[in-house]
Structure 1
Amino acid sequence: MEKKREYYDVAIIGGGAAGLTAAIYCGRARLKTILFEKALTGGLATYTSEIENYPGFPEGISGINLMKLFEKQAKKFGVDFKLTAIKEACLGAPEKVISTFRADYVAKAVIVASGGKPRLTGALGEEAFLYDKGISFCATCDAAYYTGKSIMVVGSGDAAIEEAMFLTKFAKRVQISVIHDKGIVDANEVAKEQAFANPKLEFIWNTVVHEFKGQDRLNQVVLKNIKTEERIPVDVDGCFLFIGYLPDTEIFKGKVNMDSRGYIVTNETMETNLPGVFAVGDVRVKGLRQVATAVGDGAIGGVAAERYLAESAYFEQKIMGEQQPTLVYCWNPIDPACRSIMAEVEKLKEKYKEQIKVVTVDMYKAASLAERLNIRQAPSFALVKDRAICCTVTECSCVDSVEQEIKKVI
């Protein structure tokens, strides 16, 4: 039985803060947009009991309520939601195909916002206490909840040590389970010195988590000494895991450029190495992973996708789609040389108006459009005929050589 196919302008993979923001921007731009989310719309933020550092909410707001507002706004702009897992993603140009088990969704642009997932310890009982039941992954998000309480931090890297110090501003006691020998942590020297000098931090050396215990919420972490095998029960009100994150990029491996950890590499406009494919939020290489930064990524990615589609339409219709040969002048309005040549271009346009069409591309605003013609500097010309680039002329000071090429094709 053949799968049904549905067509969209933009497909967004992942419904966390970044994906929802991108959806809002794309929907508001009147692009036909679909968002895929395999779990809970809102992503990891929905498991945060209270977010106090997101602008506009001075009293704080729960992660799930904030994400409900994001979702409501995206739906207001007509975004379609598909709560299902992605089976395959074919990201080649010009059409990209997102496959689920029941249907194929064809899109002109794709925004990957699949996020990351915290690395877990694998200890007994862990699954029962994840997120809002005692195990957390974001000190900035959840620290206030543990004011005056006892907390355990698991990890010894920069994130673990720095977040543990932040937690001491709220908790009455912070204990850190470190797998290394006494005095050895993986954090930078400054953080290390500050942590050892902090009277509210207590290190439990040579230990890993053996088991998490509790009823409705976590109330005890059982550690194991890796040298003596001794079990060490520690009563806590909560536990923070800072042992790394894993990007959710498995289905994109071998398709888009990634770093050694599996995070997607983008430029400042969220573009990947593939035309029309963008990545936003926790899934990409970046320095800070928070709701606020995810929103910024999503906004940039949504606008970039809109611009890509507009440029693609212009390229196909005005440059490659003409019946007659097309002369494309790529120029920069702030460059005096480009402005002087424009007058000669106008003369060519008038002289050969019955035989060619002349199109100008402003490289100051749309450099990527010129790059589709293999042009990266201005002033330059490209001559297109029968959907193929006949020739390009670069570093030109006059249009004489360009006119010679025009005569050849007409």
Structure 2
Amino acid sequence: MKTNTLDPIQCLIIGSGPAGYTAAIYAARAGLSPVLYQGIQPGGQLITTTEVENYPGFADGVQGPDMMMHFEKQALRMGADIRYGIVTQVDFTGPLHRVQLNDEDWLSARTVIICTGASAKWLGLESEKRLNGYGVSACAVCDGFFFRGKDVAIVGAGDTACEEALYLSKLCRVVHMIVRKDAQSMKASKVMQQRVNNTANIRIHWNSETLEILGDKEVEAIVVRNNATGEQTNISADAFFVAIGHKPNSDIFRGWLDMDVDGYLLTQPDSTATNISGVFAAGDIQDRTFRQAITAAGTGCMAALEAERYLTALVHGQNISSVPEYLLR
């Protein structure tokens, strides 16, 4: 296996969603010669999104893949080195951080910015995949706007599902909330359950499991089965939102970086710094709350700026008194 320890990368970026490309833009403008590996899904989750209306700068909206193409082109124009490859292993034991690509060659880098994101959990239905972007979504805040005044359905029983159901209730005529178990088994906090129960246009379907999503080119109805009676019902809906959680793509960092019980990387307050000096995390890999393109881009900017400060202090031997202590641990 080859390792480039004699010529380490100044700034290595893992992942290519809004966080990764923004980090690449800022790092390139700072002269850090960033190398970005796109990962298994170049462009991140927005590649599977249709119209994006809430990202500033696109007055008429933009298709998700088109927006990520703009991000990539801008990063390339700034001088970022963008490559296709998947990081399969890391070694953060030394002052130089080592990552393995495609289970083969090893690279070394002075700083690493992790932007591997989080993947939405899905039910696993064929129709769910086929209609993704055509009424099926894992983000009510992103896509609820397109279904103003219409009937929608959402599946989930946690705080996130309740929050998204409440958000949709302000836009949509009726929100059908599909909950697999009974009220006593609902995972959401009591206050969130009360808010949902007190919202007139949210109709909760207890003990119900989603069997199928009907529609050829767009969502038309949801087939649910009552687990107590076995009865099947078709619920008319123009959209189907899945809110059963996200899984951060952090498995390869387990044992190296601090993370919470669900696998989200932990960063210092008001920072993207992890527990390893010179390793930063940005975007959905460390954000379990907002998960928006614009917040991911913001933390990508932060990570590049912090990587620049770290390199300026340590690589160029400048005065480190102005560098926060947490960057130098």
Same fold (TM over 0.5): yes
- SS class of match (1:311): helix
Give the root-mean-square deviation of aligned CA atoms: 2.5
Distance 2:237 2:172 in 1: 11
- SS class of match (1:218): coil
Distance 1:97 1:176 in 2: 46
Counterpart check, 1:296 vs 2:298: yes
Describe how 1:231-242 pairs up with structure 2 within 5 A.
231-242=232-243
1:266 is matched with: 267
2:117 is matched with: 115
Whether contact under 8 Å (2:10, 2:109) holds in the other structure is: yes
Structure 1 or 2, whichever has the larger Rg, is 1
Displacement after TM superposition at 1:195 (Å):
2.5
Distance 2:22 2:186 in 1: 37
- SS class of match (1:121): coil
Counterpart check, 1:166 vs 2:167: yes
Distance 1:58 1:31 in 2: 32
2:42 is matched with: 41
- SS class of match (2:82): strand
Query: C-alpha deviations, 1:286-321, integer Å up to 9, x for none?
Result: 532211211121111001111111111144xx7xxx
Displacement after TM superposition at 1:370 (Å):
10
Displacement after TM superposition at 1:55 (Å):
2.8
- SS class of match (1:111): strand
Counterpart residue type for residue 311 of structure 2: L
Query: C-alpha deviations, 1:60-116, integer Å up to 9, x for none?
Result: 333223222221111111111222222222223322222223533321111111000
- Structure of greater relative contact order (alpha carbons < 8 Å, 6+ residues apart): 2
Displacement after TM superposition at 1:4 (Å):
7.1
Counterpart residue type for residue 215 of structure 1: D
Query: C-alpha deviations, 1:110-137, integer Å up to 9, x for none?
Result: 111100011112345433233x133201
2:198 is matched with: 197
2:258 is matched with: 257
Greater mean alpha carbon deviation, residues 206-215 or residues 257-266:
206-215
Displacement after TM superposition at 1:212 (Å):
3.0
1:143 is matched with: 144
Whether contact under 8 Å (1:210, 1:224) holds in the other structure is: yes
2:62 is matched with: 61
- After superposition, the Cα gap between the structure-2 partners of 1:212 and 1:83, relative to the gap in structure 1 and judged at 3 Å, is farther
Match of 1:368 among 319, 325, 328: 325
Distance 2:178 2:9 in 1: 49
- SS class of match (1:39): coil
Query: C-alpha deviations, 1:321-365, integer Å up to 9, x for none?
Result: xxxxxxxxxxxxxxxxxxxxxxxxxxxxxxxxxxxxxxxx563x1
1:246 is matched with: 247
Distance 2:166 2:19 in 1: 28
Counterpart residue type for residue 56 of structure 2: P
Distance 1:174 1:366 in 2: 50
Structure 1 runs not aligned, ≥5 long? 319-360, 373-410
Displacement after TM superposition at 1:16 (Å):
0.8
Scaled by the length of structure 2, the TM-score of the pair is 0.89
Query: C-alpha deviations, 1:341-394, integer Å up to 9, x for none?
Result: xxxxxxxxxxxxxxxxxxxx563x12439966xxxxxxxxxxxxxxxxxxxxxx
- After superposition, the Cα gap between the structure-2 partners of 1:367 and 1:147, relative to the gap in structure 1 and judged at 3 Å, is closer
Structure 2 runs not aligned, ≥5 long? none
Whether contact under 8 Å (2:314, 2:320) holds in the other structure is: no
Describe how 1:342-361 pairs up with structure 2 within 5 A.
361=319
Displacement after TM superposition at 1:233 (Å):
2.6
Whether contact under 8 Å (1:41, 1:71) holds in the other structure is: no
Distance 1:80 1:118 in 2: 28
1:187 is matched with: 188
Distance 2:326 2:205 in 1: 58
Q: How many residues align?
A: 325
- SS class of match (2:142): helix
- SS class of match (2:302): helix
Distance 2:118 2:211 in 1: 24
Counterpart residue type for residue 247 of structure 1: P
Identity %: 33
Counterpart check, 1:221 vs 2:178: no
Distance 2:31 2:327 in 1: 26
- SS class of match (1:66): helix
1:52 is matched with: 53
- After superposition, the Cα gap between the structure-2 partners of 1:237 and 1:264, relative to the gap in structure 1 and judged at 3 Å, is same
Distance 2:57 2:277 in 1: 35
Match of 2:308 among 293, 306, 309: 306
Counterpart residue type for residue 221 of structure 1: I
2:277 is matched with: 275
Distance 1:226 1:142 in 2: 29
1:30 is matched with: 31
Distance 1:25 1:231 in 2: 53
Displacement after TM superposition at 1:23 (Å):
0.8
Distance 2:215 2:46 in 1: 24
Counterpart residue type for residue 192 of structure 1: Q
- SS class of match (1:215): coil
Counterpart residue type for residue 216 of structure 1: K
Displacement after TM superposition at 1:232 (Å):
2.5
